[in-house]
Amino acid sequence: MTQPFSDIDPDKVAQAGSQITADADTAAAAIAGRYDSAAPAAAANPGFAAGSATSAYCSMMESETRDAVAALREMGQRIVSDATRIGSADKQASDSLNRVVDALQGLT
């Protein structure tokens, strides 16, 4: 029987996607509380003009960071899904091709 042909190893690609998802989950957990000190600091120092601007900036950065981590997590999940789908399609195509090759080899 001939060896199946594939440019990628879907299992390894899926493992990489799973690792990306896990890393995104770790990052999401690490974000918790990172930006919480700006608002109380601004409230405790009402005379400082930078306080409210710093608080607004921290809120914006927290939102953008959470969005980036969510996009990374979604990318990891899509990689796993695509690798699984590619692996299945590759297996079906390889099996079909191998049957044809085996049949042709039997004719010689």
Q: Which pLDDT score is estimated for 88?
A: 74
Q: 1-5, 16-20, 53-57: which has the highest mean pLDDT?
A: 16-20
User: Tens digit of pLDDT for each residue in 32-51?
Assistant: 888 888 888 888 888 887 88
User: Tens digit of pLDDT for each residue in 56-98?
Assistant: 899 999 999 999 999 999 999 999 999 888 877 767 777 777 7
Q: Which pLDDT score is estimated for 31?
A: 93
Dihedral of alpha carbons 96, 97, 102, 107, sign: positive
Residue ranges per domain, the chain?
A: 10-107
